[in-house]
């Protein structure tokens, strides 16, 4: 068809002056990305921060992302990393792929600023599952308060934490394992290089995470590879501070033997054979023994407790805490009976020191159920948060919390009976109450308003306090002020101190050091 002269002119104009792009644009060091508008926010999903860790890059340090020409759409989330199961009961299983090293950004859309605090979210899931795209983790509500929120993916399970003597031999650092931690470090390096393109200040980066995400943060604080990449840290219901004597398989030589056994279970006796397998095949053998951190020379040369005790951790302000009923969302209590209480504990956790078991009376079935939840609360989360706060407060400002609010979980939901359990604080901290039709109360909304602002204030200044908020005193080991996040919000002493001190004494003996006299008995200066 012959073009009219007007159509010819319009076609030529299009070639030289293409129409304005519909979404917000940002220029990264690998290329230009186009996001989407969400009211006052610019949202970018699925931006690569490293090359796909596939083929020969499986079980190697993450490589730089492949640059692209033109404008790359950033409107859709990328698949989560390879995994089985879900990180939270009731969660929709995510789409997965081995090509998964992407991040997402929520930022105020106003242009011309490069001074906004940056908050980098590290999801939980036991280092075995989880997704940066889970709706509960969306950063839109925090970003509306003037911060740039980034959620990152990292390799999980055997893809992220396999140690093996062949991998150690091919490494320039005589190490293997912790590829998931290296992914987190690569994402932080990307943020340092590119934060300004999204309005963020690369000199004011906060890492925050829950459960395995908090455990990752404790390791990043201990890792020399992460030095200078973040300036504040928030750990929610996680941490790695128990004596290494309780987890000797975390040591490189033991972890390598576990890696060899894992390959043998798949009929793949070499790393070359394992690299040749389709990604889905690597999840067909039990993966629990190759889904944990490794103490190795390069990324994590010593356990976090040892790094903190030596004053060798990355020195940044810290906000840390745990929940009042952590275990209720993780443990089936229906079969707990006083008659089988200790045998059940041994099957689940191995032989626990008698002093720990004795600290939780279990003379009746009702008492046994309470004892089981309290023991697991302290064993898995409470003692770590307390130890992390005490160790951290030797060198820096620390703000500690204890979350006590019970969300209005419906009786017919996957969250029924959770109470103030593991995960419960996330709806409040992300201020995402509006994602569910649950009957949130005015007290719930006040707490969500306050928690999200505490977190944003801390990211901005290293101090969570601000106008309109109940005062949050700094944690000092000798008086142990924490903030109780519930109704009401108020300073308080260390919760469950008696049983936490039992753990402290047992762990001190395992480390070969006598328990230190403690005066953490109250909150003597709540207005400090």
* CATH fold for domain 20-323: Rossmann fold (3.40.50)
425 is catalytic: no
Q: Tell me the per-residue pLDDT of 189-199, one tens digit each, with 9 for 90 and over.
A: 999 999 999 99
Residue 276: φ, ψ to 5°: -85, -15
367 is catalytic: no
Looking at residue 524, its pLDDT comes to 57
Please report, for the chain, the start and end positions of each structural domain, with discontinuous segments joined by +.
20-323
CB 450 within 8 A of CB 489: yes
211 is catalytic: yes
Q: Tell me the per-residue pLDDT of 21-66, one tens digit each, with 9 for 90 and over.
A: 589 999 999 999 999 999 999 999 999 999 999 999 999 999 999 9
Average pLDDT over residues 179-185: 98
Q: Tell me the per-residue pLDDT of 483-514, one tens digit each, with 9 for 90 and over.
A: 999 999 999 999 999 999 999 999 999 998 76
Q: How far apart are CA 525 and CA 476, in angstroms?
A: 10
DSSP state of 379: I
Q: How far is CA 418 from CA 93, 326, 344, 377, in A?
A: 20, 8, 21, 13
Looking at residue 516, its pLDDT comes to 56
Write down the catalytic residue from 87, 175, 211, 452.
Answer: 211
Looking at residue 112, its pLDDT comes to 82
Q: Tell me the per-residue pLDDT of 281-290, one tens digit each, with 9 for 90 and over.
A: 999 999 999 9
321 pLDDT band, cuts 50/70/90, is very high
Q: Tell me the per-residue pLDDT of 402-416, one tens digit each, with 9 for 90 and over.
A: 999 999 999 999 999
Write down the catalytic residue from 34, 422, 425, 452.
Answer: 422
Write down the catalytic residue from 34, 61, 296, 326.
Answer: 326
Q: How far apart are CA 480 and CA 494, in angstroms?
A: 6
Sheet holding 232-236, edge to edge: 36-38, 41-48, 102-108, 148-152, 116-122, 200-210, 232-236, 318-323, 398-403, 482-485, 490-492
360 pLDDT band, cuts 50/70/90, is very high
Q: Tell me the per-residue pLDDT of 428-469, one tens digit each, with 9 for 90 and over.
A: 999 999 999 999 999 999 999 999 999 999 999 999 999 999
């Amino acid at each position: 068809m012959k073009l009219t002269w007007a159509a010819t002119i319009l076609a030529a104009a299009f070639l030289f002056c293409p129409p304005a792009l519909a979404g917000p644009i940002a220029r990264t060091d690998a290329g230009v990305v186009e996001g989407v508008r969400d009211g006052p926010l610019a949202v970018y999903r699925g931006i690569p921060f490293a090359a796909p860790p596939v083929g020969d890059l499986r079980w190697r340090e993450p490589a730089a992302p492949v640059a692209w020409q033109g404008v790359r759409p950033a409107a859709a989330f990328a698949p989560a990393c390879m995994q089985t199961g879900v990180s939270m009961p009731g969660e929709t299983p995510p789409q997965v792929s081995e090509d998964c090293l992407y991040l997402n950004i929520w930022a105020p859309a106003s242009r011309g600023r490069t001074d906004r605090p940056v908050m980098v979210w590290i999801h939980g899931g036991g280092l075995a599952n989880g997704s940066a795209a889970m709706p509960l983790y969306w950063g839109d509500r925090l970003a509306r308060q003037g911060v740039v929120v980034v959620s990152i993916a990292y390799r999980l399970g055997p893809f992220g934490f396999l140690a093996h003597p062949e991998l150690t031999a091919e490494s320039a650092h005589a190490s293997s394992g912790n590829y998931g931690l290296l992914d987190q470090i690569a994402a932080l390096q990307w943020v340092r290089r590119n934060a300004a393109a999204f309005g963020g200040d690369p000199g004011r980066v906060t890492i925050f995470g829950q459960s395995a995400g908090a455990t990752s943060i404790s390791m990043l604080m201990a890792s020399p590879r992460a030095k200078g990449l973040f300036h504040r840290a928030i750990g929610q219901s996680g941490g790695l501070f128990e004596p290494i004597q309780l987890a000797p398989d975390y040591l490189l030589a033991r972890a390598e033997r576990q890696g060899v056994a894992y390959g043998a279970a798949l009929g793949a006796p070499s790393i070359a054979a394992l690299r040749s397998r389709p990604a889905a095949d690597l999840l067909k053998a039990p993966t629990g023994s190759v889904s944990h951190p490794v103490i190795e020379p390069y990324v994590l040369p010593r356990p976090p407790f040892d790094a903190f005790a030596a004053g060798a951790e990355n020195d940044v302000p810290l906000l840390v805490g745990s929940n009042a009923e952590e275990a209720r969302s993780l443990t089936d209590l229906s079969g707990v009976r006083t008659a089988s209480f200790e045998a059940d504990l041994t099957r689940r956790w191995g032989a626990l020191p008698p002093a720990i078991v004795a600290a939780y009376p279990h003379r009746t079935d009702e008492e046994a159920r309470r004892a089981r939840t309290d023991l697991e609360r302290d064993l898995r989360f409470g003692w770590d948060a307390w130890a992390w706060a005490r160790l951290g407060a030797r060198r820096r400002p620390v703000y500690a919390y204890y979350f006590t609010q019970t969300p209005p979980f419906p009786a017919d939901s996957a969250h029924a009976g959770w109470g103030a359990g593991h995960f419960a604080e996330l709806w409040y901290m992300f201020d995402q109450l509006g994602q569910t039709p649950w009957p949130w109360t005015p007290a719930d909304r006040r707490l969500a308003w306050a928690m999200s602002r505490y977190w944003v204030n801390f990211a901005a200044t290293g101090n969570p306090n601000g106008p309109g908020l109940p005062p949050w005193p700094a944690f000092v080991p000798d008086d142990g002020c924490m903030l109780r996040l519930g109704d009401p919000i108020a300073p308080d002493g260390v919760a469950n101190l008696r049983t936490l001190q039992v753990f402290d004494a047992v762990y001190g003996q395992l480390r070969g050091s006598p328990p230190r006299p403690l005066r953490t008995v109250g909150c003597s200066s709540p207005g400090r």
